[in-house]
A and B are shown apart, each in its own frame.
Chain A
Amino acid sequence: MRPPAGLWELYWGFLSIGARSFGGVLPWAHRVMVEERRWLAPGDFAEVLALCQFLPGPNVGNVSVVLGRRWFGLPGAVVAFLGLMALPLAWVFGLALLYADFSSHPEVRAVVTGVGIAGGGLFVGTAWKLAKPLMRRPWALALAVACFGALALGRVSLFQVLPVALLLGWLLARRNLA
């Protein structure tokens, strides 16, 4: 294991993560940093990721900032983040322009709508995986359902739901119910 030799290597590493990360960034972040370039040990990667999943913002975006900082300070954080985002950003604008040209075709709209709905389904599947530890904790499950009711069905603002939900979650966790 050896950290990147310089900012240039850092940039290329994150650029190649961004370029290949179709269908999810995380697996590619692991492959490039742990397996290919061997910047990090697997356990180290898992620890950085645990922090970054908890922090707000895109997980792997946070990973790039935290690791870039660890290795090269502020310039490292900026370079790693820009490397990660550069190619996907170009891609997404290219696709959007293409779509703007073709969106008058009902077939194209139907395909894109189907992809979006499936993407929503992926969120539900992800939530299902996250919810596994809650199955034995009915109060925690009830809190998750209540959040869903308020946000998705009731259309209440997140900024009203979040403080109440966090407080309830905290009380449940303190009593070992969450």
Chain B
Amino acid sequence: MLQIALYFALLSLVSMGGMPSVMPEMQRIVVDVQGWMSAAEFTQLFAIAQAAPGPNVLVTALIGWKVAGLAGGMVALGAFCGPAAALAYSIGGFWDRMRDAPWRKTFQRALVPVTVGFVVSGGYVLATPVGPEWRSVLIAGAAAALLVLSRLNPLWILSGGGVLGYLLF
């Protein structure tokens, strides 16, 4: 449990843009390195977090819960949210004062391609729980296209994924 806490606390500090950017790393550790669950189980836990209201960091609580029970869930969520929240708490005023600093603009621009690469990776590892085969590509591709092309509430897109999952898997 201590191991989860330390690892999630570290991930917390590099989770620029929230959960999506650290998703590939979290899945790598939980599935590949520690072997706490299979890739399919990881994707299912993520699905449960998506089906609940609230920020998708809740998936960290589910991972902790799966590994070490309810207490593990609370510890994992606290470890993942705590450091980032402390940073937000302390940096709020400073960042506003730096609004016009040139380094801030450069840094923000530098983050864009990096974040894009990370978020796409997070989507890829979640969408390929049984490897990159046609059913996953179909569901994920349709979900991505609907998000980009329509103004549908994401909840409908997720429900559609559930229906396709029922029909195909």
A117 touches B54 (CB 8 A): no
**How close is B101's CB to chain A, nearest CB, in angstroms?**
13
Q: At the interface, is chain B mostly helix, strand, loop or mixed? A: helix
CB pair B106–A120 under 8 Å, yes or no, is: no
Docked-complex contact B89 and A116, CB < 8 angstroms: no
The B96-124 residues at the A interface (CB cut-off 8 A) are 96, 106-124
Query: Is A56 within 8 A of B16, CB to CB?
Result: yes
Tell me the B1-54 residues at the A interface (CB within 8 Å). Answer: 10-20, 22-25, 28, 32, 40, 43-54
For B144, give its contact among A19, A66, A81, A125 (CB under 8 Å): A125
* Extra A-B contacts (7), CB below 8 Å, given A88-B58, A115-B162, A166-B114: A93-B70, A95-B52, A113-B129, A116-B127, A123-B126, A134-B113, A162-B14
B75 at the A interface (CB under 8 A): no
Nearest first, the 9 A-B pairs at minimum CB distance are: A114-B165, A88-B54, A118-B161, A147-B117, A57-B84, A121-B143, A123-B123, A120-B127, A120-B126
Given A128-B144, A152-B24, the answer on whether A92 and B61 have CB atoms closer than 8 Å is yes
Query: Quick one: which of A42-69 are within 8 Å of B by CB?
Result: 47, 51-62, 65-66, 69
Q: By the criterion CB–CB under 8 Å, are A119 and B126 in contact?
A: yes
Among candidates A60, A96, A120, A140, residue contacting B113 with C-beta atoms closer than 8 Å: A140
| Number of chain B residues close to chain A: CB under 8 A | 102
User: Do A119 and B158 touch (CB < 8 A)?
Assistant: yes
> In the complex, what residues of B have CB within 8 A of residue A159's CB?
10, 14, 25
List the B side residues contacting A25 at CB < 8 Å: 53-55
Interface size of A in residues (CB-CB distance below 8 Å): 90
> Given the interface contacts A23-B158, A66-B88, A95-B51, does A57 sit within 8 Å of B143 by beta carbon?
no
- Quick check: is A41 within 8 A (CB to CB) of the other chain? no
User: Which of A81, A116, A127, A146 is the one whose CB lies under 8 Å from B119?
Assistant: A127
Determine if B111 and A169 form an interchain contact, defined as CB atoms under 8 angstroms apart.
yes
Query: Contact check: which of B53, B113, B127 meets A121 at CB < 8 Å?
Result: B127
**Residues in B neighbouring A173, C-beta threshold 8 A:** 106-107, 109-110
